[in-house]
């Protein structure tokens, strides 16, 4: 069951956030970007990469740079399953790399690279306000930056 986006507003909203977004399936990814930008009030750096598989390398470069390092990286993409197992491999690879990167760098990698069965699922998760996973990712990024400030 598709749950509504959580609308929790953290105390601190001015964290530097980066968004790494796939250009592939742009119709849906652009909807998630819009949802994220509606939530984020601070400085946002938007990086577009060709596809979901390229997201981890751009996120790694952002997380490891010396200056203008983001407090969190939101990773947005849509992978639609086809008739082969390629989508599954891409989704697993992206997930593994983002998790490893977050632990290695201490920078939250908010994972909203969606592996979906259909365009209807993409529409529901990317283009509808109440269930927009880009907006939810932005809330998660802000919550994580606040949490890491508190415990760090």
- Which are the catalytic amino acids? 86
Give alpha helix (H) positions in 10-128.
26-39, 55-64, 86-105, 119-126
Residue 147 three-state SS:
helix
Contact (CB, 8 A) for 60 and 101:
yes
Contact (CB, 8 A) for 52 and 111:
no
Q: What whole-number distance in Å separates Cα of residue 59 and Cα of residue 69?
A: 11
């Amino acid at each position: 069951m598709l749950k509504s986006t959580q609308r929790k507003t953290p105390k601190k909203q001015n964290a530097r956030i980066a968004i790494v977004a796939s250009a592939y399936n742009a119709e849906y990814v652009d909807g998630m970007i819009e949802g994220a930008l509606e939530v984020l009030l601070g400085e946002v750096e938007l990086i577009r990469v060709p596809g979901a598989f390229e997201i981890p390398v751009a996120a790694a470069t952002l997380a490891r740079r010396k200056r203008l390092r983001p407090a969190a990286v939101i990773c947005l993409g849509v992978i639609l399953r086809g008739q082969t197992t390629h989508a599954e491999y891409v989704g697993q690879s992206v997930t593994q790399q983002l998790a490893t990167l977050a632990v290695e760098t201490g920078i939250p990698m908010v994972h909203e690279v969606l592996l979906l069965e259909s365009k209807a699922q993409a529409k529901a998760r990317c283009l509808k306000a109440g269930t927009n996973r880009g907006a939810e990712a932005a809330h998660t990024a802000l919550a994580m930056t606040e949490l890491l400030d508190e415990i760090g």
